[in-house]
């Protein structure tokens, strides 16, 4: 738990243009293009069962989107119903959004029937969410 908190604080305090970040992004792009999963930090907010007011890790592939409280994929991992979730729009963070979401992140406003869902993550990862939900 302490490791998670330290990594969360580091992610919150440091700017998005760190050395090595571009290399990691290219590695993730290759893995996703080859049909693999990309795991990244995000927030999933909305009505139950989507309400997770703490940072989570999303694992996105071309056909699925899974959420887990840690980067370990096997630990308490659950699938989001990607076939039922429709992306309405992607936008930047607004003043009305929770302050725990970093200001440079993007939010995908989604709907699952009548339930509203917000998925927030770094802009470099939003394309994976968008493609996993079939909105490309």
Helix ranges (H only) for the chain are 2-13, 21-33, 123-132
Q: What is the mean pLDDT of the segment spanning 126-136?
A: 81
Q: What is the pLDDT of residues 93-124, one digit of tens each?
A: 999 988 889 999 999 999 988 888 999 999 99
Q: What is the pLDDT of residues 31-61, one digit of tens each?
A: 777 778 888 999 998 877 777 778 899 988 8
Quote the pTM value.
0.76
Q: Are strands 106-112 and 115-121 parallel, antiparallel or unpaired?
A: antiparallel
Residue 122 DSSP code:
-
Instruction: Give all strands of the β-sheet with 65-68 in edge-to-edge order.
Output: 78-80, 65-68, 52-60, 38-46, 115-121, 106-112, 86-92
Say what the pLDDT of residue 119 is. 93
Higher local confidence (pLDDT), 112 or 19: 112
Q: How many CB atoms lie within 10 A of CB 132?
A: 26
């Amino acid at each position: 738990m302490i490791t998670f908190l330290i990594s969360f604080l580091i992610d919150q305090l440091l700017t998005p243009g760190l050395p090595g970040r571009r290399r990691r992004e290219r590695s993730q792009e290759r893995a996703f293009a080859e049909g693999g999963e990309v795991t990244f930090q995000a927030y999933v907010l909305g009505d139950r069962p989507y309400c997770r007011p703490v940072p989570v890790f999303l694992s996105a592939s071309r056909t699925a989107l899974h959420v887990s409280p840690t980067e370990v994929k096997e630990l308490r991992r659950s699938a989001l119903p990607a076939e039922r979730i429709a992306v309405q729009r992607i936008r930047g963070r607004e003043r009305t959004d929770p302050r725990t979401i970093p200001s440079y992140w993007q939010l995908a406003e989604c709907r699952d029937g009548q339930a509203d869902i917000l998925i927030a993550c770094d802009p470099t990862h939003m394309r994976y969410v968008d493609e996993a939900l079939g909105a490309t």
